[in-house]
Structure 1
């Protein structure tokens, strides 16, 4: 399976935004999340909108950036708002903007119904694979090697735990806080992708 990224102005600009506001390890995480999501779409026979999924992957953690962090909202909700504004600037119609925000918010849900929200399902599963190793065995080994070579993990564990620890300390009812309480650090350390 070969990694193919969608093109077009929205995808290019989403990558530019993620590059400007994300640490290198989080930018690479976003790129890997799209790759894993596209692969899982094939594995689970879930059709998806490549542009919508790619933009969501690039912006799904934008709410962790200090420039967009909300003192009151969970990072995924703040990120959904930023993505809505981004999509408005890209000329997307209101319904598509709302879908983008919804996909980003749902990426932190424990379960997303693929029939109801294919992009949300794939983004959630792919982010969980990259962060905690969920469903990594579903990803073709050749693709894993290619993606990890092109977008290495760098200091993802340390950077992600720092961001989530900060979110948890300030927003104890957030999904980030719940993840920290559920031993995210151990799950990240045991992620098979860390061994590649």
Structure 2
């Protein structure tokens, strides 16, 4: 697919290799979601007249949920960090500048961190906006309806709202403690109401300090 909603999908060897990784280790749910996120993010960048790197944004979008897959999931890190680490290792093979790699790492690692990502570099902020639109409908009314429809036609949602929460949980149910302090803790409680998550106030009150 060369172009969707006026956005040219990157077709460099790096971009193709990144897409192959998601195809090989993800599923249709993650493939369609990640591509919608890229396109939503890119169009938001155009609307805001942001100066951003389309290829870096594309890789960030393709890898942002890769940490949910068995191949890239660690035993003890947040899935966002797993995806960010995978993207960093991938980009280092192509002699991408360290600063560009850092932006991709931050974009992926912070894509679920409310109140922070939107204040960082364009690739980071835009990825966050695309994820928010696709998952929670953030900015839905402000986004051009014709572009939105074209993107969904190219990469269908296919009951996304009902499927994505179990997919999130499947990706980190072996390490639910990594969701502490993050929106994904809501996913754990939704899927397992009996799970006892740490409480920040209790961490303070039961710290080893004597007073």
Global fold match (TM > 0.5): yes
Residue of 166, 169, 175 corresponding to 1:165: 169
Q: How much does 1:91 deviate?
A: 2.4
Taking the aligned partners of 1:170 and 1:7, their CA distance within structure 2 comes to 36
Q: Give 5+ residue unaligned stretches, structure 2.
A: 192-211
Q: Give the match's secondary structure for 1:80.
A: helix
CA-based RMSD of the aligned residues comes to 2.2
Q: 2:121 aligned to 108, 117, 121, which one?
A: 117
| Runs (5+) with no aligned partner, structure 1 | 185-196
CA–CA separation in structure 2 for the residues paired with 1:105 and 1:137: 27
Provide Cα deviations, 1:87-138, integer angstroms capped at 9, x if missing partner.
Answer: 0122213332222111111111103465631111110111111011111122
Quick one: structure 1 residues 22 and 40, their matched pair in 2 at CA, closer, same or farther if it must change by over 3 Å?
Answer: same
Structure 1 segment 1-196 matched on structure 2, within 5 A = 2-112=6-116, 116-166=120-170, 167=172, 170-174=175-179, 175=182, 177-180=184-187
- Contact 1:33/1:130 (CA < 8 Å) preserved in 2? yes
Contact 2:117 2:125 in 1 (8 A): yes
**Superposed structure 1 runs of 4+ greater than 6 Å apart:** 181-184
Aligned counterparts of 1:157 and 1:71: Cα–Cα separation in 2 = 27
Task: Tell me the SS of whatever aligns to 1:157.
Answer: helix
8 A contact 1:3–1:147 mirrored in 2: no
How many residue pairs get matched?
184
**Contact (CA 8 Å) 1:46, 1:114: kept in 2 or not?**
no
Partner Cα distance (2:64, 2:165) in 1: 16
In structure 2, C-alpha distance between the alignment counterparts of 1:126 and 1:158, rounded to whole Å: 19
The answer on whether the counterparts of 1:168 and 1:177 sit within 8 Å (CA) in structure 2 is: no
What is the CA deviation profile of residues 133-175 of structure 1, one whole-angstrom value per residue up to 9, with x for unaligned ones? Answer: 1111221111011111111012433442123223256323413
Q: Name the structure where helix makes up a greater proportion of residues.
A: 1
Where 2:7 maps in the other structure, the secondary structure is coil
